[in-house]
A and B are shown apart, each in its own frame.
Chain A
């Protein structure tokens, strides 16, 4: 392969390595859009073979400096996280170097800046895509370095067989990856946690729709999502493939005709959130809320009694999570994290209860101001003269389930979505059914509220997974003496998730990969290491729980220290740059000596002929027996020795020689011996 092809291949591989590194950063979703656009443009331009910054060194550096000022200005004002700003700046540096003149030094700069991006992405993202990007970066970067090394210090325009080189480097990359995994497994996990960065939302964002309000008329596309948002191990294990149970998330008791909201008052953060006293026969759930859940609301099988042992997981490790009880509404995490682990306690049957608090009863019976009178008439017609609240509730639930249809297609609901659902379209999704049932119950004097959560649970291995498509809304009605009972008017077909089969399989594959990634990489801990070594030494005695993770405390980014370190780095770089430039620009001492000699000769009107060197001039003066000839010979010899003969000219000797030459060239000594050009 000739030089041009080799260079093209090397540059392409280098640019791909940089793009892989940036992809790792961009997939975290934390990068400003304009940075991504700039990088993408740079990558495309570089891939097309253009290097527009090759001749614009100073201008390009100034632009980069201006962008750095903007980025760190944003960080200083709090509009951008400092780590994000630093990574964004590294991205711009990478893009800048990609567009610079293609030299071996530029290759190394691009790759080292890309390595910074990879390290930055590790702080920003915990997604499995990071692994793919890291792999791609490793392969491309190693191949680029390998090709650059074989090219040698100076590029030679000669054919070079690249296949053996690429083969050898590829084997090397494979070994490096294997070695990297080995290092990863065995490197002791000791964390200082001096300055850990807080978690950021994952790229794919929340998928559950678990919000603090439920507005009728929203889309129902979530029902087709197969993304796993939670995993749970149940004790005792029911042993069924499909759990078909309600996972309670949030209660909504106030309806204004358009949307439901809660009205609970948050309490103090605690490590234990008790809703009701624990009673015998509770079912224990070890629940893991995955990043796709993207909500801090805890879920538990109906009816949850308490939550405990909560841990917030982030790329910085795991930490104890505090929980806040919002009475009558929800329990949520006070500690931020990408994912959470906790234990929920549930009682499967009805929980003995006394009377409902008056305020709570009033809220659970409140009707919207402009409720369509047909709603109450419908409830009266369905309930008839039945006075038993439980019986009335079942009748209304049955009527809705049997007489109205389930659909995710919603259009033209207008200002009265409930009436539209009940009397016009006569079809809707779970939120419509839940709203209708709750309002109908309230018109009959039965306190009720809408519950948001999940329905279902699919067994995968030893655990049950809850998908985004399992998101569901149903109703709880208060029956004196029985407490809150669960009612669900949504037809059975519309309760669980409804994903496309092929898509579900793909998502399952992705989820299993992600689970492996999270378990084996992101959440890998010292305990896992000990377990690994123990398993190597002796066979495992029993199943190891996945919840045993060391607790760690996180800190905040010490802004001053980071800024100080940054300033120190910039200062060091400036000093180094200045010194190296000064040293590079300083002429050879012998050259400055020659300049001095020439100046003196010129002053004495001794001109050199065209192309005449100092040696020839010296010989010419000797042949004409000029009084300064002998001195000039000495000067010439010392100049040649100092310039080419590795015999430096000390300043004292230099001064003496120049002084001697000046004396010999003085008019008094050189009169009548003037050798003009001939």
Chain B
């Protein structure tokens, strides 16, 4: 639920915004100059030129309004993105009536930088445009609307309309530099080779023994059990991959940001080296694991550090 200030701000916001381009500024300066010249000299031909220049300004407003009116936009979001790196954001633009020209699509009121360009949209034919955008910082990103901008017809003015389209996106921490090797794997080793549990892996065959009560019946070797007339369990060597649990203790500010970035970079590096990585941050623990899905879990957790987490988990 938006606060009353935000609602007031939305309500006060003009439905269209107009910005003068660089060429438009020069054009306006020339128009004013010619207008002053006409007023000074009384030369009707200058008045005629001035009339055309002013008409072009008015026409720019009318045609640009026609271009951005009746445009529908649908946003296609990626699963996640890293801060400071371009990632693709796709928009499906449909013109419900008439045609549109020279449209630039970008996120409104968002920290995302970048836009997509569509030269022409015919009536009723959806056009998909890719915008390579960059999020400056990590965290959950609230997307409120899409800015539809056009320079049509003459490139003198930039008219923008915002289509309300609420959505959310998780921005993972920037993949920064990680140089310091983490503490030794032993120190952070989560697995325990001293227990019998190291024989419950899926590696080389170590031997058979009698199944004890409470042990997983799926490990029973049925043929040998039948031959021995007792339940025998297969013991296989467990592949012991180094396990690390990375911790983030910083609570806020730039230190937290740097810690998140470094942890994200370290996570990537360790996972690439074949280790399993877990996370301990702000009282939340993720068990060590590996694979792209696990990396995403860690990154999502890092993205939400310092932010209010959504209900039901990390997903936005």
- Listed stretches B148-156, B198-206, B225-233, B306-314; interface member: B148-156
Residue of A nearest to B43 (CB): A315
What are the interface flags for B130-142 relative to A under an 8 Å C-beta threshold, 1 for contact and 0 otherwise?
0000001000000
Q: Does A181 contact B (CB under 8 A)?
A: yes
Q: Does A184 contact B (CB under 8 A)?
A: yes
In the complex, what residues of B have CB within 8 A of residue A189's CB? 42, 44, 47
Given A183-B50, A196-B42, A119 and B152 contact (CB-CB distance below 8 Å): no
State the CA gap A290–B45 with chains docked (Å).
18
- Does A194 contact B40, Cβ atoms closer than 8 Å? yes
Residue of B nearest to A116 (CB): B30
Q: Measured between C-beta atoms, what is the minimum distance from A193 to chain B in Å?
A: 6
- Does B41 contact A183, Cβ atoms closer than 8 Å? no
- Listed stretches B51-59, B187-195, B273-281; interface member: B51-59
State the CA gap A524–B48 with chains docked (Å).
10
State the CA gap A130–B44 with chains docked (Å).
12
29 contacts between A and B (CB under 8 A): A108-B23, A108-B26, A115-B53, A116-B30, A119-B34, A121-B45, A122-B45, A134-B49, A149-B101, A149-B102, A149-B151, A149-B152, A149-B154, A152-B119, A168-B63, A179-B59, A180-B56, A183-B51, A183-B55, A184-B47, A189-B42, A191-B39, A192-B39, A194-B40, A315-B44, A317-B43, A633-B179, A640-B177, A644-B84
- Does B155 contact A148, Cβ atoms closer than 8 Å? yes
Q: Measured between C-beta atoms, what is the minimum distance from B97 to chain A in Å?
A: 14
What are the interface flags for B152-194 relative to A under an 8 Å C-beta threshold, 1 for contact and 0 otherwise?
1111100000000000000000101101110000000000000
What are the interface flags for B253-282 relative to A under an 8 Å C-beta threshold, 1 for contact and 0 otherwise?
000000001000000000000000000000
In the complex, what residues of A have CB within 8 A of residue B51's CB? 179-184, 187
- Does A146 contact B154, Cβ atoms closer than 8 Å? yes
Which residues 638-662 of A have a CB within 8 angstroms of B?
A: 640-641, 644-646
- Listed stretches A57-65, A474-482, A614-622; interface member: A614-622
Q: Does A468 contact B (CB under 8 A)?
A: no
Please tell me which one of the listed residues A521, A618, A637 contacts residue B44 in the complex, with CB atoms under 8 A apart: A521
Q: Does B117 contact A (CB under 8 A)?
A: yes
Q: What does DSSP make chain A's interface, helix, strand, loop or mixed?
A: helix
Q: Measured between C-beta atoms, what is the minimum distance from B254 to chain A in Å?
A: 8
In the complex, what residues of A have CB within 8 A of residue B43's CB? 122-123, 196, 315-317
In the complex, what residues of B have CB within 8 A of residue A522's CB? 44-45
In the complex, what residues of B have CB within 8 A of residue A187's CB? 38, 47, 50-51
Q: Does B27 contact A (CB under 8 A)?
A: yes
Residue of B nearest to A24 (CB): B45
Given contacts A164-B122, A172-B59, 18 further A-B contacts (CB under 8 A): A108-B26, A108-B155, A112-B23, A115-B30, A119-B46, A126-B45, A150-B120, A168-B101, A175-B62, A179-B51, A179-B55, A179-B59, A180-B56, A182-B51, A184-B50, A196-B41, A317-B42, A645-B176
Q: Does B37 contact A (CB under 8 A)?
A: yes
In the complex, what residues of B have CB within 8 A of residue A633's CB? 177, 179-180
Residue of B nearest to A169 (CB): B153
In the complex, what residues of B have CB within 8 A of residue A172's CB? 59, 63, 153
Q: Does A672 contact B (CB under 8 A)?
A: no
Q: Measured between C-beta atoms, what is the minimum distance from A22 to chain B in Å?
A: 15
State the CA gap A134–B51 with chains docked (Å).
12
- Does A636 contact B177, Cβ atoms closer than 8 Å? yes
- Does B136 contact A122, Cβ atoms closer than 8 Å? no
Interface residues on B, range: 35 or more
Please tell me which one of the listed residues B42, B49, B54 contacts residue A191 in the complex, with CB atoms under 8 A apart: B42
In the complex, what residues of B have CB within 8 A of residue A641's CB? 176
- Does B41 contact A195, Cβ atoms closer than 8 Å? yes
State the CA gap A637–B177 with chains docked (Å).
6
Q: Does B99 contact A (CB under 8 A)?
A: yes
- Does B40 contact A195, Cβ atoms closer than 8 Å? yes
- Does A619 contact B41, Cβ atoms closer than 8 Å? no
State the CA gap A641–B178 with chains docked (Å).
12
Please tell me which one of the listed residues B39, B48, B151, B153 contacts residue A180 in the complex, with CB atoms under 8 A apart: B48
Please tell me which one of the listed residues B42, B46, B55, B117 contacts residue A182 in the complex, with CB atoms under 8 A apart: B55
State the CA gap A582–B141 with chains docked (Å).
37
- Does A153 contact B117, Cβ atoms closer than 8 Å? yes
Q: Does A523 contact B (CB under 8 A)?
A: yes
Q: Does A562 contact B (CB under 8 A)?
A: no
In the complex, what residues of B have CB within 8 A of residue A150's CB? 101-102, 119-120, 152
- Does B27 contact A177, Cβ atoms closer than 8 Å? no
Q: Does A160 contact B (CB under 8 A)?
A: yes
- Does B119 contact A160, Cβ atoms closer than 8 Å? yes
- Does B52 contact A122, Cβ atoms closer than 8 Å? no
In the complex, what residues of B have CB within 8 A of residue A181's CB? 51
- Does B46 contact A164, Cβ atoms closer than 8 Å? no
Q: Does A203 contact B (CB under 8 A)?
A: no
- Does A175 contact B59, Cβ atoms closer than 8 Å? yes
- Does A176 contact B99, Cβ atoms closer than 8 Å? no
- Does A134 contact B120, Cβ atoms closer than 8 Å? no
State the CA gap A589–B49 with chains docked (Å).
48
- Does A145 contact B154, Cβ atoms closer than 8 Å? yes
Residue of B nearest to A179 (CB): B55
- Does A523 contact B40, Cβ atoms closer than 8 Å? no
State the CA gap A192–B54 with chains docked (Å).
21
- Does B56 contact A119, Cβ atoms closer than 8 Å? no
Q: Does A217 contact B (CB under 8 A)?
A: no
Q: Measured between C-beta atoms, what is the minimum distance from B304 to chain A in Å?
A: 20
Q: Measured between C-beta atoms, what is the minimum distance from B115 to chain A in Å?
A: 9
Q: Measured between C-beta atoms, what is the minimum distance from B124 to chain A in Å?
A: 14
- Does B40 contact A118, Cβ atoms closer than 8 Å? no
State the CA gap A123–B62 with chains docked (Å).
31
Residue of A nearest to B67 (CB): A168
State the CA gap A15–B48 with chains docked (Å).
23
In the complex, what residues of B have CB within 8 A of residue A161's CB? 120
Q: Does A552 contact B (CB under 8 A)?
A: yes
In the complex, what residues of B have CB within 8 A of residue A153's CB? 117
In the complex, what residues of B have CB within 8 A of residue A521's CB? 44-45, 48
Residue of B nearest to A184 (CB): B51
Residue of A nearest to B27 (CB): A112
In the complex, what residues of A have CB within 8 A of residue B174's CB? 645
- Does A145 contact B46, Cβ atoms closer than 8 Å? no
In the complex, what residues of B have CB within 8 A of residue A563's CB? none
In the complex, what residues of B have CB within 8 A of residue A116's CB? 30
State the CA gap A181–B43 with chains docked (Å).
15
In the complex, what residues of A have CB within 8 A of residue B119's CB? 150-152, 156, 160
State the CA gap A622–B181 with chains docked (Å).
9
Please tell me which one of the listed residues A122, A126, A164 contacts residue B120 in the complex, with CB atoms under 8 A apart: A164
In the complex, what residues of B have CB within 8 A of residue A154's CB? 117
- Does B155 contact A149, Cβ atoms closer than 8 Å? yes
Given A112-B23, A180-B51, A523-B44, A615 and B177 contact (CB-CB distance below 8 Å): yes
For B27, B30, B119, B180, the residue with the greatest tally of chain A CB atoms inside 10 Å of its CB is B119
- Does A118 contact B152, Cβ atoms closer than 8 Å? no
- Does B42 contact A145, Cβ atoms closer than 8 Å? no
State the CA gap A192–B39 with chains docked (Å).
6
Given A112-B26, A152-B117, A193 and B84 contact (CB-CB distance below 8 Å): no
- Does B180 contact A622, Cβ atoms closer than 8 Å? yes
What are the interface flags for A123-167 relative to B under an 8 Å C-beta threshold, 1 for contact and 0 otherwise?
101100011001000100010011011111110100011001100
- Does A168 contact B153, Cβ atoms closer than 8 Å? yes
Q: Does A33 contact B (CB under 8 A)?
A: no
State the CA gap A179–B37 with chains docked (Å).
20
For A161, A172, A524, A646, the residue with the greatest tally of chain B CB atoms inside 10 Å of its CB is A172
Q: Does A190 contact B (CB under 8 A)?
A: yes
For A112, A645, A646, the residue with the greatest tally of chain B CB atoms inside 10 Å of its CB is A645
In the complex, what residues of B have CB within 8 A of residue A152's CB? 102, 117, 119
Q: Measured between C-beta atoms, what is the minimum distance from B176 to chain A in Å?
A: 6
Q: Does A197 contact B (CB under 8 A)?
A: yes
State the CA gap A125–B44 with chains docked (Å).
11
State the CA gap A138–B30 with chains docked (Å).
15
In the complex, what residues of A have CB within 8 A of residue B102's CB? 149-150, 152
In the complex, what residues of B have CB within 8 A of residue A644's CB? 84
Q: Measured between C-beta atoms, what is the minimum distance from A46 to chain B in Å?
A: 20
Complex A-B, nearest 7 residue pairs according to Cβ-Cβ distance, in ascending order: A179-B55, A191-B42, A183-B51, A122-B45, A180-B52, A184-B51, A317-B42
